[in-house]
Structure 1
Amino acid sequence: MSMEELARSHDWKHQVLVLAFPFGSHPCSLLGLVRRLASDAPDVKFSFFNTATSNAAIFNDGRRNDNVFPYSVSDGLPEGYVRRWGVPEEPVELFLKAACGNFREAITAEVAGVEVGGVVSDAFLWFAGEIAAEMEVAWVPVWIAGLRSLVVHLHTDLFRQNLADSGHDEEKVINFLPGFSNIRNIDLPHEGIHADLESPITTMLYKMELHLPKASVVVVNSFKETEPVMFDLLKPKLRELLTIAPINLTSPTKSIINDEYGCLEWLDKEKPNSIAYICFGTFVALPPHELEALAEALVESGVRFLWSFRGNPEESFSEDVLQTFDVQGKLVPWAPQTRVLAHPSVGVYISHCGWNSVLEAIMEGVPMICRPFVGDNGLNVRTIGCEWKVGLGLPNGIFTKDGVMKAMETILDPYKGDQIRSNLKALKHLAFKANEPEGSSTKNFNSLRKLLTK
C-alpha cells in the first residue's frame, strides 16, 4: 500500500498539521521532533507541509513512520528561477512573500476527512497561529535555535531603542538585559535588530514576536539548565515554555545514516583527538580569501582533517594544495556528522556555529572553533567562547592563517586545551541529565506528546 493510500484508508484518531520552514536545518529538525511524537502515537496522523524540494531531501534518509505524511507547498519561486550566487536570502524572501497563502491552499486541499487535533510549526511561520485559532486547536511553534536568540527576537523593540544611538559601534556591550554582558552589538542577528524594517525576513521576525505569546506552548531546542538566565527572561513572555533538546538527534551508534564516502573507516586509522572536522552547513560558503587562509593554516600546521566541503575542490584550491590535502586529510561532499563527531579521533570541530551543530558538538564532547555567518551564529559563538568556554572564536570573527593555527594549537594541545575539555564535559553532563527519564527534556517532551496526541 502506498503512503497516500495508507493516509486515506486508515481510521485515524485525529491529525496534527505540521508547517515547516524549508531552509537550512529547520525542516530536518522539525521532522525529527515530529517523528519522535509519531512513534509514540501510531493512531495519530502527522501531515507534514513543506516544499517538494525540501521534503525530497529530508524524507530520503531511510527512516519511515507509517503515520507521518509529506505534503507539498509551493516554494514561491517564479518559473525558471535561477538562484543568484551571493544572494542567499533571495529564495527565503520569495518563499515568505507567498507562504501564508500557499500553506493555506495546501492545507485546504489535504485536511478533509480527518479531524485536526493541533498545529505544530516552525516558529518563523507566525500565521500558523491564526490557522490553529480558526480551527480552535492548540498551536505549538518550535524554535529550533537556542534560548538566547529567542530572547533577542522577543525583545526587538528594547534592543532597537537601546542601540539607536550606538551608530556603528560594533563593540558596544549589551548592558540592558541580564545575562548579556558578554554580548556585543556585532554579535546580534542583523536580520532582527539592524535590518530594514520593511524586508520580508525582518517582517517575519516582527510578526513572530507579536504572535508567539499567544501560542499554547512554545518549544525550544535547548536545555534550560545550560541557559537558565535566558529561560527566566522568556518564561514571563509566553503561556508555556518547554525546552526539549536535542529534538532531532539520534544516538550515533544506532544511526542508519549511510557513510557513502568512507569517513568513519578513514577516521578509524587516525589517533585519538587528532582530527579537525570541518563543516559549514548547507546554506553558507566561505569567501575565497578566507577559504585560502583556512587551507594555508591546515597545510602549515600539518593538522590532519576531515572536511565536508560544499562545492568543487578543483575550482576552489590550487593543484599544489589539493596534492597536500590528498596526503594530509580527506575532502568529501558530505559526511554523517553525528557519527563523525562521536568518533574518538575527532579533536576539534571547525564550524559556522549553527545551533544544531552546537548541540551536536556538546552531546559528543567536541570543542569548537567558530566562524559565524548569519542569524544566531554570532550569539552562539559568544556563548560558546565567553559564557560556556567550550570553544574559541576568531579575531574579528573571520579566518586568518594565524588565527586558525593558534586556535587549533590551543584546543588540540593536551595541556592548553584541558580547561576547554573540562568545561565541555560539565556541559555535556547537563545535557545528558536533561534527557534521563526524570530529566527536564524528557518531562517536557512527555507534556508535549500528551497535548498533541491525547
Structure 2
Amino acid sequence: MEGKPSLCETQVSNVLVFPFPIQGHINPMLQFSKRLASKGLRVTLLAITSTNKPMQLSESSINIEPIEFEEGENVAGVDDYLDLYTTIIPGKLAKLIEKKKSSQHPIKFLVYDSGSPWTLDVARSAGIDAAPFFTQSWAVNAIYYHFHKGTLKLPLEQPVVKLPSMPALEVSDLPSFVRDTEAYPGLGNLVRSQFTNLEEASLVFCNTLDMLEDEVIRWMSSYKPIKTIGPTLPSIYLDKRLEDDKDYGINLFKPDTDACIKWLDSKEPASVVYISFGSLAALGEEQMEEIALGLKRSNKFFLWVVRETEQKKLPTNFVEEALEKGLVVSWSPQLRVLAHKAVGCFITHCGWNSTLEALSLGVPMVAMPQWTDQPTNAKFVEDVWKVGIRVRVDKHGIIKKEEIERCVREVMEGEKSLDIKSNSESWKKLIKEAVDEGGSSDRNIDEFVAKIICK
C-alpha cells in the first residue's frame, strides 16, 4: 500500500521502533511499524539478536536492524537475563542512534516498549524525542500506575479494589505482579517500572482502542495524552488495506498449519472448542488431566495446542483415544484457526494478544487466566465486554473437569450463549471500524505521522 505524500517535506522521516525481545511484545510493535510504513514513514525495527534465543524476522515494508546481545553462560533465569539486558543494551542503543543520526535518513522519533523506560533517557540524550508503547490493556496499565503511585496498596483493607473509571476488582482480578511482589521479582520490577519517567514523555501509545476501554482511557488521558492504535493484528483480519499483511511475521514454534486447517474444514460451523495457553504457560499434570476429562465430558469437537514440552503431562493414551473428537497439535496458526468458521469457543489464558485476537474475530471465550495481566483481562472478558465466561478454581487452585464442561456448554449452548455470541459480533464490528480508514485508531496513527513528517 502506498504511503500518503508528505505536505511538509520531501525527505523521508525515519522512525525507530524498539520492542522488548519476546514474541508477545514484538508482534504488536511490528504490526504498528507496518501501519506507520504504509502511511509514508521509513520505519526501522530494532531487533535484539541472541545466539541463545534466535528469533527470525522477515518484513519487506520495514527495515530490520539487529542489536547483538550475547547472554553468556552465567544467565541462570529471567532475573539474570533482565539484569544483563538493562546493563548492556542502553549503551548499544545509544551507539546505534548516534550512528544513524548522520545517515541519509535522519531519525525523527523513537517508539519504545514501555517495559524499557530508560530508552527515553537514551533518546533524549541523543537529541531525539521518544514515546512508550504499552503492549498490555490500559486497564492493566492503570492498575500498575496506581500501584506505582501508592494509591493501590496491599494487603487490601476492603474485599474489593475501587479505582477511578474501573469496575470493582477483587484481589483475584489483579495482575499477579501486584498481588505477589515476591514472585519473579525481575519481571515484577519490569512491569512496575513502566511509569518511572512517564511524565517526561510527550505522548503514549497503547495497543487497544478507545471504545474497548473508554472510561479508563479518558481518565488517564487527563494526565497524559494517549494514542490508542490497536488492535495490532495483520491487516487481512481487520481492514484489509495493507497488501500482503497476512501474518505477524514471527513464530517461536512451527505451526501445524495443514493439519489444523484440514481438520477444521471437516467440521460444522461453530462446533469446535479451540484451546491454547500461549507460548509461556506451563500447567501442572493434574490440571492438564482435568482439562482433558472436561473436554471429553463436553462431547464437543476440540483442537488443543499442547507444546511438545508439555505433552508428557497429558493422560496416558489421551491423544489416541481422543481421535474421534479431538486433535492435539504442538502449535497452531492461531489467527487462521480463530478466523475459521468451525471454531465456536476459545479456551484461553487471556494474554492480551490472544484476547484481542478473539475480540477482533468475534470468537466467544472461556477465560482461564494463569498469571501476569491475564486475571484482569479475564475479568473484562466476562463482566465488562461480556464475551465469555471465566472459570472458577477450587480451594486447591485447580479447575475441575466439571467446571471445564460447564463453561464450554454455557458458552456454546447455554442460556448466556446467544448474548455472548451477539456481544462478540458487536465488538468484532467496532474493532474493524476503529482500524479502518477514519476510525479512531487510524486517526491517531495519522495524527502521529503528520506530526513526524512536519517536525
TM-score range, shorter-chain basis? 0.7 to 0.9
Q: How does 1:405-416 map to 2 (within 5 A)?
A: 405-413=405-413, 416=416
Shift of 1:447: 1.8
In the other structure, the counterpart of 2:345 is 348
In the other structure, the counterpart of 1:4 is none
What is the aligned residue count?
425
In the other structure, the counterpart of 1:33 is 32
- Distance in 2 (CA, whole Å) between partners of 1:301 and 1:161 is 41
In the other structure, the counterpart of 2:128 is 137
- Distance in 1 (CA, whole Å) between partners of 2:167 and 2:144 is 14
Normalising by structure 2, we get a TM-score of: 0.85
Secondary structure of the structure 2 residue equivalent to 1:306 = strand
- Distance in 2 (CA, whole Å) between partners of 1:318 and 1:154 is 42
1:413-441, Cα deviation, whole Å (9 max, x unpaired): 17541011112222222212212322101
Shift of 1:221: 0.7
In the other structure, the counterpart of 2:73 is 79
Q: Quickly say closer, same or farther: Cα 1:79–1:32, change in 2 above 3 A.
A: same
In the other structure, the counterpart of 1:69 is 64
Shift of 1:165: 4.8
Secondary structure of the structure 2 residue equivalent to 1:266 = helix
* Deviates further, 254-263 or 134-143: 254-263
Kindly indicate whether residue 423 of structure 2 is the aligned counterpart of residue 423 of structure 1. Answer: yes
Shift of 1:453: 4.8
- Distance in 1 (CA, whole Å) between partners of 2:55 and 2:399 is 31
Q: Which residue, 217, 224, 245 being the options, matches 2:203?
A: 217
1:277-311, Cα deviation, whole Å (9 max, x unpaired): 11111011111111000001112222111112212
1:53-72, Cα deviation, whole Å (9 max, x unpaired): 69953515xx423x412313
- Distance in 2 (CA, whole Å) between partners of 1:272 and 1:398 is 31
Structure 1 residue runs of 5 or longer lacking an equivalent are 1-10, 83-89
In the other structure, the counterpart of 2:46 is 48
In the other structure, the counterpart of 1:293 is 290
Normalising by structure 1, we get a TM-score of: 0.85
- Distance in 1 (CA, whole Å) between partners of 2:151 and 2:220 is 18
- Distance in 2 (CA, whole Å) between partners of 1:287 and 1:159 is 35
Secondary structure of the structure 1 residue equivalent to 2:190 = helix
Q: Contact between 1:299 and 1:324, CA under 8 Å: does it hold in 2?
A: no
Secondary structure of the structure 1 residue equivalent to 2:196 = helix
Q: Contact between 1:221 and 1:243, CA under 8 Å: does it hold in 2?
A: yes
Q: Quickly say closer, same or farther: Cα 1:336–1:54, change in 2 above 3 A.
A: farther
- Distance in 2 (CA, whole Å) between partners of 1:384 and 1:32 is 24
Q: Which residue, 156, 160, 163 being the options, matches 2:154?
A: 163
Secondary structure of the structure 2 residue equivalent to 1:140 = strand
In the other structure, the counterpart of 1:85 is none
- Distance in 2 (CA, whole Å) between partners of 1:106 and 1:279 is 36
Task: State the superposition RMSD in angstroms.
Answer: 2.7
Q: Contact between 1:152 and 1:159, CA under 8 Å: does it hold in 2?
A: no
Q: How does 1:250-399 map to 2 (within 5 A)?
A: 250-252=235-237, 256-257=246-247, 260-312=257-309, 315-396=312-393, 398-399=398-399
Q: Contact between 2:174 and 2:375, CA under 8 Å: does it hold in 1?
A: yes
Shift of 1:232: 1.6
Secondary structure of the structure 1 residue equivalent to 2:222 = helix
1:44-103, Cα deviation, whole Å (9 max, x unpaired): 25141323369953515xx423x412313426x332756xxxxxxx32x22321333422
Secondary structure of the structure 2 residue equivalent to 1:386 = helix
Q: How does 1:175-190 map to 2 (within 5 A)?
A: 175-181=162-168, 183-190=169-176
- Distance in 2 (CA, whole Å) between partners of 1:120 and 1:389 is 33
Shift of 1:215: 1.3
Amino acid at match of 1:151: A
Q: Quickly say closer, same or farther: Cα 1:100–1:432, change in 2 above 3 A.
A: same
Could you say which structure has the greater relative contact order, defined with CA pairs below 8 angstroms and 6 or more residues apart?
Answer: 2
Percent of aligned pairs sharing the same letter: 24
Q: Quickly say closer, same or farther: Cα 1:255–1:133, change in 2 above 3 A.
A: closer
Q: How does 1:220-235 map to 2 (within 5 A)?
A: 220-235=206-221
Q: Contact between 1:369 and 1:393, CA under 8 Å: does it hold in 2?
A: yes
In the other structure, the counterpart of 1:16 is 15
Q: Which residue, 221, 227, 230 being the options, matches 1:242?
A: 227
Q: Quickly say closer, same or farther: Cα 1:313–1:329, change in 2 above 3 A.
A: farther
Secondary structure of the structure 2 residue equivalent to 1:69 = strand
- Distance in 2 (CA, whole Å) between partners of 1:150 and 1:341 is 26
Q: Contact between 2:435 and 2:441, CA under 8 Å: does it hold in 1?
A: yes
* Deviates further, 103-112 or 338-347: 103-112
1:249-295, Cα deviation, whole Å (9 max, x unpaired): 33248665586442112111101101011111101111111100000
